[in-house]
Chain A
Amino acid sequence: MRYHTPSSFEDASALAAAATGVTRFLAGGTDVLVQLRSDLVTPDDLIDIKQIAGVRDITRRDDGSWRIGAAVSGAELAEHEALIAEWPGVVEALELIGSTQIQARCTLVGNLCNGSPAADSVPAMIAAGATVSVVGPEGAREITVEGVPTAPGVTSLGPGEVVSAVNLPPRGKGGGDAYLRFIPRTEMDIAVVGAGVSLSREGDTITAARVALGAVAPTVLLVEEAGAALVGSTLDDAALATLARAAEAACRPISDKRGTVEFRTHVAGVLARRAARIAYDRAGA
């Protein structure tokens, strides 16, 4: 195994593009090191991106949008009051992952690129309309978060491509987001179902909404019908019922040791409703 510490994303990309064996990028390592220890993956090239300038920066741009570096940890995100004020759902989603120790390491980008359909921060990022900045052999590009995962453990990133940052759009007035997950315990668990909702309201009426579901399909789902069910409503019972039905209809889960098809589908509707209520209250606050 070769261990690299490039000082730029261009160098990181070049190292990955030139590699012939198994390659992994290392930021927090909370997935990679576990895979290494349990003999699931033994990389030939391990490319540590933490030495790259700016990877741990959280920046609010003049237009109100945000750039979150690829190595920003959950603990750092959770202490950023301005970000929490605008995107509490994204922050709470990453914060749910693992223990205090894991929080000191885990990152949004790692959670996304690991490709798990149960990743907690991904539904929240998709609901938020987040994008990622990608550096690759062909240059830089920006793609939506929902465009990254393509199957369990698989992403749309090409050979040599590496994610340098997450971008959140300007929150604007009257916006709120929330993420809820269902786990059998209260902590230290993996989502059986996850639901992220982000919406904007004018007065009591919802003007825009995005709903994303985790752990109910091979990839995290952006459920456009569920978002549409909320737009124009005041989050009345009828809108919530339509939301839940749309969420359930989008589910294509598997039955496994963590939950059955029936359970996951039902709980997806429940969590979508509950997350929508929290987002709505936050948007009105």
Chain B
Amino acid sequence: MAFDEETNGFKVVGTRPDRPDGIDKVTGRARFGADVTAPGMLHAVIIRSPHAHARIVKINASRAEAANGVKAVVTRADFADGLEGENWNILENLMAGERALYDGHAVAAIAATSSLAARDAARLVEVEYEVLPHVTDVDDAMQEGAPVIREGAADGSVPAGMHPNVVRCHDSGHGDPEEGFAEADLVIEERFTTEATHQGYIEPHACLGTLGPDGRGELWCCTQGHWNVQKVCAALLDVETSKLRVTASEIGGGFGGKTAVFIEPVALALSRKANRPVKLVMPRADVFRATGPTASTSMDVKIGMKKDGTISGASGVFRCQGGAFPGAPMEFTAMCAFAPYALRHVRQIGFDVMTNRPKQAAYRAPGSPMAAFAVESVIDELCNRLGLDPIDVRLKNASREGTKASFGPSWDRIGLVETLEAAKEHPHFSAPLAEGAGRGISCGFWFNHAGETAVQLALSEDGTVQLSVGTPDIGGSRASMCMMAAEELGVPYDDVRTTIADTATLGYNEISHGSRVTYASGLATIEAARDTVKKLCKRAADKWGIDAEAVEWRDGCAIPSGPNAGDFDPMPIKEIASRMGQTGGPIVGHFEATPEGAGVSFATHIVDAEVDRETGATTVTRYTVVQDAGKAIHPSYVEGQYQGGAAQGIGWALNEEYIYDDDGRLQNAGFLDYRIPVASDLPMIDTVIVEVPNPGHPYGVRGVGETSICPPLAAIANAVSNAAGVRMQDLPMRPSRILGALKARS
């Protein structure tokens, strides 16, 4: 294949240089959201509802306003009126209107001269609530008689007769699953549930905002997308977008959770009222209670299989709970569910259900991991009962280039089969299992995204390169950008510095989400470098007095394209740069587009687990991730994404969950009882990078950040179920749940 050969001759791509932000991060020099100050700065605290659902009768802040050091108090009245659509949802979420919709819902905020003064004054704000009935469980919220979160929130996609808490519906597929089930030798239908989990980023949301009486503002914040923050803040505060300049800090983890806006407009509203800079740092408990965990789910999956392993039919209903607002990612859950398989008969239905919980936010491949848990568990059970090899069955049914996807389109070039084959050949798959241990296999799928992207590449007078991109670096992307620019320009990696530019410096850049950064900012970087090369060649051509078309760029030098072009010594980038002021001015390449062609990505995971039959405790003893990266620009950071997805998946599968008491209050708003895995909970996670190039990227890159969390829930559940000898259908598989299942069986 020509394209594959073309992408094999790299000099920089595929190597593993140190990341440019590494030294700053290990020495503490890197500046995160809470690391900045401003003269006259105030500290803000947000006052939150202790009730899951309540009418806000009255807010009396007069005592707080009179307290020592208090400079401003804001409530909903201090934000824009008349918003619609998602902007209204965002505002309603970050500052309640008539009702508090979940435990932790913001109702007011205070700015004072110290954080202690703000905290003391917060206790003086009197909020009178009329407590209303609440519901937090997805299945309960769909039942007749469940409290209605918001009347009229449903759109036209919801079938008539459903509870008003069901606000959106997705229905897709092809063929007739019933016909498929009739052809099957074995049909299994089971219900699965997953709990809401938080992204668990270590850095709480933090910002420093200034908004003056002239309507001009500056905002520093930790976010995955500062242009989005700019747009949302402008709308919620009713100022013009370009009057607010937003700078993204270093980011201490996001995983999708920092694609949303929770505090920045509050800091700006306080600043506008006090006419002072305002810093707002979320306490950890607020992060759990009032930012976005992922959706919880309740799912029914039915699959029919023939004795030879052919999946003859499949259907699923996926109910996703996304808190007190529309937006649970049920369409992704439904569309990803059967994506790894080429099926004649398939149908998937998704429901978006509202409850009295915080507004869900994106979490790494939103919706897909839960779907894989349900579908891949049923496939595992079918393989067990029919005595079939789990990889052979998946290979037999695998989606391939040209087959019709479960959600409609035909696949372009994809790498699922290659991941399955690599998994089958991996020593892990054939390693003997210890007595009482179990092995689990799962595939996973994520779409990947491209999005609006703008970059600029400026040459310095010494020939080094300043690359400005607009996508916050959440996974080592600055290293990858430097590498792609260096590859194109033929300069050393260390000669390129990549900066995350602020909103005033580049055109609009979509959020760092959808595993898009290395794909889209990478593509833009390559195009900007190629634009720069054209300009460099032109300068050399002018100097040599030949046509620009007769000049080529090779190994960091302009050279004549052939003997006919003339006989000139190669002209290095440093030479051209040193004279650029006299030869036509600054040399800057740029690229702006909404690329199309983000290649989808598949993965196959292998997990071994042991279960303590006396306590129900699970130990993950071995873990192997096999995933298609298209082309790994920086293999270490690709491997890091694979390992990170697996680690988060282990937490989600085993111990992480939002626990609500009967009163609708979150019981575990801290890292003690919200149990993300610690290092000693994890085995070394082995990785295999499969490279099936994406035709939509100059180097073949596919996004890798999200697919890695799609298979773990299912792969771990399959390993645990096989170890325990009992099918685990509810996550998390906390010890008490496993022990209960073992007891129920015996």
Where the two chains meet, the residues of A that have a C-beta atom closer than 8 Å to any C-beta of B are 38-39, 182, 184-190, 256-260, 262-263, 266-267, 270
- Residues facing A in B693-746 (CB within 8 A) are 734-736, 739-740
Stretch at the interface among B351-359, B481-489, B495-503, B668-676: B668-676
Q: By the criterion CB–CB under 8 Å, are B681 and A270 in contact?
A: no
- Residues facing A in B638-683 (CB within 8 A) are 654-655, 659, 667-668, 672-673, 675, 677-678, 680-681
Distance in Å from the Cβ of B678 to the closest Cβ of chain A?
5
Distance in Å from the Cβ of A48 to the closest Cβ of chain B?
21
Q: Which residues of A contact B667 (CB under 8 A)?
A: 256-257
Q: By the criterion CB–CB under 8 Å, are A184 and B680 in contact?
A: no
By Cβ-Cβ distance, the 8 closest A-B pairs, closest first, are A263-B736, A186-B680, A270-B614, A257-B667, A257-B659, A184-B655, A187-B678, A187-B680
A41–B615 Cα distance when bound, in Å, is 35
Q: By the criterion CB–CB under 8 Å, are B668 and A184 in contact?
A: no
Q: By the criterion CB–CB under 8 Å, are A182 and B615 in contact?
A: yes
Q: By the criterion CB–CB under 8 Å, are B681 and A266 in contact?
A: no
B506 within 8 A of A: no
Q: Which residues of B contact A189 (CB under 8 A)?
A: 672, 675
Chain B contact surface mostly = loop
A263–B615 Cα distance when bound, in Å, is 8
Q: By the criterion CB–CB under 8 Å, are B673 and A270 in contact?
A: no
Number of interface residues of B (CB under 8 A): 23
Given contacts A182-B617, A185-B678, A186-B681, contact A259 B736 (CB under 8 A): yes
What are 20 A-B interface contacts by the 8 Å CB criterion?
A: A182-B735, A184-B735, A185-B655, A185-B675, A185-B677, A185-B680, A186-B678, A186-B680, A186-B681, A187-B678, A188-B678, A257-B668, A260-B736, A262-B740, A263-B616, A263-B736, A263-B740, A266-B739, A270-B614, A270-B615
Q: Which residues of A contact B740 (CB under 8 A)?
A: 262-263
A266–B681 Cα distance when bound, in Å, is 23
A263–B737 Cα distance when bound, in Å, is 9
Q: By the criterion CB–CB under 8 Å, are B654 and A184 in contact?
A: yes
Q: By the criterion CB–CB under 8 Å, are B617 and A184 in contact?
A: yes
Q: By the criterion CB–CB under 8 Å, are B680 and A263 in contact?
A: no
Q: Which residues of A contact B680 (CB under 8 A)?
A: 185-187
Q: Which residues of B contact A263 (CB under 8 A)?
A: 616, 735-736, 739-740
Distance in Å from the Cβ of A119 to the closest Cβ of chain B?
14
Q: By the criterion CB–CB under 8 Å, are B615 and A267 in contact?
A: yes
A270–B673 Cα distance when bound, in Å, is 23
Q: Which residues of A contact B654 (CB under 8 A)?
A: 184
- Chain B, residue nearest A99 (CB): B678
Render B604-626 as a binary contact track against A, CB cut-off 8 A, 1 for contact. 00000000001111000000000
**Which residue in B285, B614, B659, B675 is a CB contact (below 8 Å) of A184?**
B675
Q: Which residues of B contact A39 (CB under 8 A)?
A: 119
- Residues facing A in B73-93 (CB within 8 A) are none
- Chain B, residue nearest A269 (CB): B614
Distance in Å from the Cβ of A95 to the closest Cβ of chain B?
14
Render B245-274 as a binary contact track against A, CB cut-off 8 A, 1 for contact. 000000000000000000000000000000
Q: Which residues of B contact A184 (CB under 8 A)?
A: 617, 654-655, 675, 734-735
Distance in Å from the Cβ of A272 to the closest Cβ of chain B?
12
Distance in Å from the Cβ of B461 to the closest Cβ of chain A?
48
Q: Which residues of A contact B735 (CB under 8 A)?
A: 182, 184, 263
